[in-house]
């Protein structure tokens, strides 16, 4: 039962390596600290031109934010009002929509269906050692995500990995659908050699799905939602991303059981 402590423990170990938000520091007029924090995050020297430009840009955004909220320490109401007005402008609302839709695709990517129901799938394709295979599937996803988002995202970008990942995941699920439709495996029943071979391929399809999903819908919506918004709106855009992911998770989780028990199509 203590396994749940592992991710939380890793998070706790990472906290000392965090620096204060440069935007927040600049809002508090702690400019030196902002330079230090940015230099840490960018792994660039404090006097690097890039750092100075970042600070100038954040400062500019804070200033335009202050200009509309009326002062360095706007009331909560004034800030929210100004932020909402800015969020609805052309060139800003499309970013909020993009984040919302990307989390919608993430929710409807079928990962939830495979996550929550992979034991059922493993059983249905004739596997008996369900715990082992669920564990392997989880490890593939975790390792794939860590490797891709640590080493490759700034080589391959966001758009092409998203497209490649989505199509690969789709191919895996089409195969699963075909296998289930044709072989209709049931746990415990005697199975033909063809059904067993198809089941092995279906297990491979689930594992490939996990690997492909780990560099696509799994993390890319978070990456994009974190990088496209201006500093002044991040206290709005972060919760917006969180709201989007939980809204779609809720919808998909609610819909799944009735999707699985639906009468059509059936065999």
Partner 1 sequence: MKYGVYIFFASMLVLASIYAWFFIHETKGVRMDQMDELFGFERPAANYTSKVVEEGGYDDYGGKQKDTHVSRVEVA
Binders of partner 1 among residues 207 to 226 (CB under 8 A) are 217, 224
DSSP 188: T
Which tokens belong to 188?
Answer: 């415990």
Of 11 and 90, which CB lies nearer to partner 1 in the complex structure?
90
- The contact mask relative to partner 1 for 170-209 (x = CB under 8 A, - = no) is xxxxx-xxx-xx--xxx-----------------------
Q: How many residues bind partner 1 (CB under 8 A)?
A: 76
- Which residues does 138 contact at the CB level (< 8 Å), separation at least 6? 210
**Position 254 contacts partner 1 (CB under 8 A):** no
Task: Please give the full DSSP string across 196-257, using - where no structure is assigned.
Answer: HHHHHHHHHHHHHHHHHHHTTTTTHHHHHHHHSS-GGGHHHHHHHHHHHHHHHHHHHHHHHH
**Looking at 6-14, 57-65, 135-143, 192-200, which segment touches partner 1 (CB under 8 A)?**
57-65
Report the sign of the C-alpha dihedral through residues 57, 63, 69, 71, in that order.
positive
Of 65 and 145, which CB lies nearer to partner 1 in the complex structure?
65
**Position 5 contacts partner 1 (CB under 8 A):** no
Instruction: Looking at residues 59 to 118 of the shown chain, list those that interact with partner 1 (rule: CB under 8 A).
Output: 59-61, 63-64, 66-67, 89-92, 94-95, 98, 101-102, 105, 108-110, 113
**Position 4 contacts partner 1 (CB under 8 A):** no
**DSSP H helical ranges for the chain:** 5-14, 22-27, 31-42, 49-69, 76-87, 93-107, 111-124, 130-147, 153-156, 159-183, 193-214, 220-227, 234-261
Of 5 and 67, which CB lies nearer to partner 1 in the complex structure?
67
CB of 204 to partner 1, least distance (A): 15
Of 7 and 253, which CB lies nearer to partner 1 in the complex structure?
253
Which tokens belong to 189?
Answer: 């029943």
CA distance 72 to 66: 6
Question: How far are the Cα atoms of 6, 7, 176, 218 from residue 213, in angstroms, in the given order?
Answer: 23, 20, 15, 6
CB of 227 to partner 1, least distance (A): 6
Contact 170, 109 (CB under 8 A): no
- Answer for which of 84, 88, 132, 167 binds partner 1 (CB under 8 A) is 167
CB-based burial of residue 248 (10 Å sphere; 0-12 exposed, 13-18 middle, 19+ buried)?
A: buried
**Looking at 4-12, 142-150, 153-161, 236-244, which segment touches partner 1 (CB under 8 A)?**
153-161
CB of 63 to partner 1, least distance (A): 6
CA distance 34 to 36: 5
CB of 84 to partner 1, least distance (A): 15
Number of Cβ within a 10 Å radius of residue 59: 16
Instruction: Looking at residues 12 to 31 of the shown chain, list those that interact with partner 1 (rule: CB under 8 A).
Output: 29, 31
- The contact mask relative to partner 1 for 224-243 (x = CB under 8 A, - = no) is x--xxxxx------------
CB of 16 to partner 1, least distance (A): 26
């Amino acid at each position: 039962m203590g396994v749940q402590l592992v991710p939380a423990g890793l998070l706790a170990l990472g906290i000392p390596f965090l620096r204060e938000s440069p935007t927040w520091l600049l809002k508090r007029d702690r400019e030196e600290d902002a330079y230090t924090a940015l230099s840490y995050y960018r792994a660039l020297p404090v006097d690097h031109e890039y750092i100075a430009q970042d600070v100038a840009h954040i400062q500019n955004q804070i200033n335009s934010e202050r200009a509309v909220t009326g002062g360095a320490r706007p009331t909560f109401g004034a800030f929210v009002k100004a932020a909402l007005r800015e969020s609805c402008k052309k060139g800003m609302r499309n970013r909020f929509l993009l984040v919302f839709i990307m989390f919608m695709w993430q929710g409807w990517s079928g990962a939830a269906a495979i996550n929550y129901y992979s034991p059922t799938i493993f059983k249905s394709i004739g596997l008996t050692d369900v715990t082992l295979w669920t564990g392997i599937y989880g490890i593939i996803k975790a390792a794939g995500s860590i490797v891709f988002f640590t080493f490759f995202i700034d080589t391959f970008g966001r758009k092409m990995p998203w497209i490649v990942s989505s199509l690969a995941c789709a191919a895996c699920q089409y195969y699963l659908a075909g296998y289930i439709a044709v072989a209709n495996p049931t746990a415990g029943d005697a199975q033909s050699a063809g059904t067993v071979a198809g089941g092995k391929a279906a297990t491979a399809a689930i594992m490939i799905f996990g690997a492909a999903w780990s560099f696509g819908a799994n993390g890319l919506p978070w990456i994009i939602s974190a990088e496209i918004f201006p500093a002044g709106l991040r206290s709005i855009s972060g919760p917006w991303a969180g709201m989007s992911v939980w809204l779609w998770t809720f919808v998909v989780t609610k819909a799944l059981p009735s999707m699985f028990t639906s009468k059509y199509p059936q065999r």
